[in-house]
Amino acid sequence: MARKFLYVIAGLIVLAIAGAFALAIWGKELQKMAFVPGDGFVEQERLADNAYRSTDMWISRPGIGLDDPARWQPATRGEARDVPTADENNPEFVVFFVHPTSFLERTSWNAALEDAQSARIAEVYVRGMASPFNQASEIWAPRYRQATFGAFLTDSPDSEAAIDTAYEDVAQAFAFFVDSIGPDMPIVLAGHSQGALHLMSLLQRRIAGTALEDRIAAAYLVGWPISVAHDLPALGLPACATAGQANCIASWSSYAEPADPSALIETYSESRGLDGELRGDSGIVCTNPISGTANGTAPASANLGSLVPDTDLTDGELVPRYVPARCDDRGLLLIGPPPEMGAAVLPGNNYHVYDVPLFWRNLQRDVAQRVGSWTKQPR
């Protein structure tokens, strides 16, 4: 099978911080010098109309078999917890997952599909972040010409073009995905960081107000702050308010305490929402991934299993009751004292890299509950 999730940590400390909301860690000018491409954006040729017919264009999809990273099932430390399994007649559903940034180079604004290093790391992300959805009938995770990390450190026309290029690949992959699945199958959208950004665009441009909107059993847009006032209305779906609610959006950004989210909050407040207005001090969507509720609080005892790395970084296992979670008044998810997760914790006790692994087992249960609710709705 593909290499273990823990390669995320080994030598890739800043990799998953891609996104305009995780900036100002070392100083914006220094970051720009290190990561923003020096040359101008070169317009990318649109992928062939049938590009996503090729299995090579997918990290995960039906037919890959044992080497599919999204199908990984980690071991559990200690007692097993009460979580629905695939043999308990869970409702069928399909997942479209978009991985976060795995390309740091400043040699180009977008990663080439044939770039071996970024492709390998993208598979690692799919293993660690798409695997909580492994009870799905089908999981589809496309390769795409992602925007480089430096594209999120500037608001130049070049960066906008790079992000748009990445989005168009994702949109093309999604269109093929929809054509390939059953017409009545519930859809779960899931993505992290840059992946969550592209799913926001997909909801706004391709799904909201269409027949597809009703088929979205849940959308997990994790690691990218969503403004309640300036983003959410354009996405067509409400924020998830209760556990088991269907047709809704779940999102969170994780910090241990004491948390210093000043870099995120500053950049968030100065950015423009999907309505074109400054996000300012508007509230951020915060779903508690342990309880499944909006702005909720849950003790560590309710955490069914965090995906925690071994000390030698060769594997990981699910550890029950590892961290609590509570949404604060800013819309950030606080997880108590810093848990030991490895070397990829970011300044300010930012656990962005671990947004999904910290709540792996609860997320597995959460999606089953939301899809179950979806199947019971009258149509």
From first to last of the 379 residues of the chain, give the pLDDT tens digit.
333 333 333 333 344 444 434 444 445 554 565 678 777 888 888 999 999 999 999 999 999 988 899 999 998 887 655 555 544 567 899 999 999 999 888 889 899 999 999 999 999 899 999 999 999 999 999 999 999 988 887 888 988 999 999 999 999 999 999 999 999 999 999 999 999 999 999 999 999 999 999 999 999 999 999 999 999 999 999 999 999 999 999 999 999 999 999 988 998 999 999 999 999 999 999 999 999 999 989 999 999 999 997 654 456 899 999 999 999 999 999 999 999 998 888 889 999 989 999 999 999 999 999 999 999 998 7
- Answer for the pair 124, 3: CB distance below 8 angstroms, yes or no: yes
Query: How far apart (Å, rounded) are the C-alpha atoms in residues 248 and 287?
Result: 11
Strand bridging mode 297-298 / 325-327: antiparallel
Give, as one character, the DSSP assignment of residue 339: P
Query: How far apart (Å, rounded) are the C-alpha atoms in residues 255 and 332?
Result: 7
Dihedral-angle region of residue 54 (phi above 0 means left; psi in -120 to 50 means alpha; beta otherwise) = beta
Instruction: Output the pLDDT for position 6.
Output: 38
Instruction: Output the pLDDT for position 18.
Output: 42
Per the omega criterion (within 30 degrees of 0), is the bond before 299 cis? no
Encoded amino acid at 132, one letter: P
Give the H or E element holding residue 163.
helix 157-180
Instruction: Output the pLDDT for position 123.
Output: 92
Instruction: Output the pLDDT for position 309.
Output: 76
Q: Which of 127, 154, 16, 141 is nearest to 72 (CA)?
A: 127
Query: How far apart (Å, rounded) are the C-alpha atoms in residues 361 and 343?
Result: 22
Encoded amino acid at 68, one letter: D
State the Cα angle at 354 between 351 and 356, rounded to 5°. 130
| Tokens read off for 232 | 């959410």
Residues 6+ apart with CB under 8 A from 148: 35, 37, 101, 103, 104, 105, 106, 108, 109, 110, 111, 162
Q: How far is CA 310 from the centre of its chain?
A: 23
| Tokens read off for 266 | 């500053």
Instruction: Output the pLDDT for position 88.
Output: 56
Q: Give Cα separations from 111 to 7, 144, 181, 364 (angstroms).
A: 19, 8, 28, 31
Instruction: Output the pLDDT for position 296.
Output: 86
Instruction: Output the pLDDT for position 21.
Output: 45
- Answer for the pair 103, 149: CB distance below 8 angstroms, yes or no: yes
Instruction: Output the pLDDT for position 31.
Output: 56
- Answer for the pair 286, 331: CB distance below 8 angstroms, yes or no: yes
b/e map 118-127, b = 16+ CB within 10 Å: bbebbbbbbb
pTM of the predicted structure, to 2 decimals: 0.91
Q: Give Cα separations from 60 to 14, 70, 137, 170, 202 (angstroms).
A: 24, 6, 12, 14, 19
Residues 6+ apart with CB under 8 A from 274: 200, 204, 230, 231, 233, 234, 235
Query: How far apart (Å, rounded) are the C-alpha atoms in residues 348 and 75?
Result: 30
Instruction: Output the pLDDT for position 15.
Output: 43
Instruction: Output the pLDDT for position 81.
Output: 58
